[in-house]
A = this chain, B = another copy of it.
C-alpha cells in the first residue's frame, strides 16, 4: 500500500494494466510527451513507447471513432478526452455507435473500450472547463458510466473498466485529482462495477452522491453530526448501470433522502435517483426527497464557488429534510 493522490492512483492504474497487457493503448490530445494537461498520463510514453501512448489530431470524434475500431479489432483502447466539456463532438460516436454496436450487430461486433475524461468544477475553468455532463450519457443503454471519488476506487474501477467487455465512460473528478489522498494497493486489483459504496454510516438522513461531491457530503455530514443529525453518505460510483437495489435499500433503511450532484438540477442524474425511490419505496419516505445540485444555468467563472454545491447547501438540505 502506498499513499497516493487520486491522480497518481489513475496513473498507477494505467501503468499497471499497460505493463500486464500489451493490447492496452492510451491516446488522446497531449497525452504523450506532455503527459496530458493534468499529467495523468505522465511517464507512459516514456515507459511504453510511442506505439502504446500517443497524441492524436484535435478531433474527439476521430479519437472515439478510432477507439471503437481498435476495440472491435482486438486492442483495448483507453482514450482520453482532454476535458469532458469537449466530448460533445464525439457524442454521436459514443451514443449512436459504441453503446449500440453489440445490440445492432446481434452480438457480432463489440466495443470494449474506456473513455477517460476529467469533469466538474473547482479549477476556475468557466463555462467550458467545469461541466458535469454525466446525465447526458446515463440515458444511453449499452454504455457504462463510472465516477470514482477515492484513490483506491479510482485505480480499481479504472482497471475493472479496462477489462470490462462493454464501453465505459470514466469520468474523473478533476477537483479531487490532487485534493484527496489515500491508501492504494500495489499492482493489479479491481473494484467491481455493480455496487455502490457506503462512505459513511448513519441513520437519520442518507445523502446519495458521487465524484467530487463525496467530500462535500462528508463535510456536511460532519457538521450535521455536531447538530445531532447522523448522516449516511452513499457514493454511487457506477452511475450506469446503477446498483438500484442498493439505492433502494439505503433509502428504505433511512427514510430521509438528499440527492447531491454538481451538474444542473433539471433533468440531471439526481432526478433518476429521486424517481427510483418515489417509484419503489415512497411509502418509506418521511420527508420530501431533496436535491442539491448546480443551478440551472451555464457554469460561471468568477463566482464558481457560489455555483458549486458546498457544505452550506448540503447542510441546509439535510436539516430541512431531518426536521420536516
Contact = CB atoms under 8 A, between A and B. Distances in A.
Nearest to A60: B92
Contacts of A91: 88, 91-92
Nearest to A300: B103
Given A100-B298, A127-B104, A139 B278 contact: no
Contacts of A282: 278, 282, 285, 287-289
B128 A135 contact: no
Contact of A288 (B85, B268, B279, B288): B279
A264 interface: yes
Contact of A278 (B242, B275, B297): B275
Nearest to A92: B88
A19 to B, nearest CB: 36
Contacts of A224: none
Contacts of A267: 135, 138-139, 240, 269, 271-272
B298 A142 contact: yes
A275 B271 contact: yes
Contacts of A96: 85, 88, 128
A275 to B, nearest CB: 4
Interface string A87-127: 01101100110011001100000000000000000000001
A240 B266 contact: yes
A274 interface: yes
Given A103-B298, A274-B271, A263 B139 contact: yes
A289 B298 contact: no
Interface in A46-103: 61, 85, 88-89, 91-92, 95-96, 99-100, 103
Q: How large is the interface on A (under 10, 10 to 19, 20 to 34, 35 or more residues)?
A: 35 or more
Given A92-B89, A282-B289, A298 B104 contact: yes
Interface string A275-304: 111111011010111110001111000000
Given A274-B279, A289-B278, A136 B138 contact: no
A280 B320 CA distance: 12
Contacts of A100: 127, 298
A99 B131 CA distance: 14
A173 interface: no
A141 interface: yes
A13 interface: no
A309 interface: no
Contacts of A85: 96
Residue of A88, A240, A278, A298 ringed by the most chain B CB atoms within 10 A: A278
Given A139-B264, A141-B264, 9 more contacts: A88-B91, A88-B92, A88-B96, A240-B267, A242-B266, A259-B275, A278-B288, A279-B288, A279-B290
> Which are the 9 A-B pairs with shortest beta-carbon distances?
A274-B275, A88-B92, A271-B275, A278-B278, A271-B271, A139-B267, A138-B267, A91-B91, A278-B289
11 contacts: A88-B96, A99-B298, A138-B267, A139-B268, A141-B298, A267-B271, A267-B272, A272-B275, A278-B282, A279-B290, A282-B289
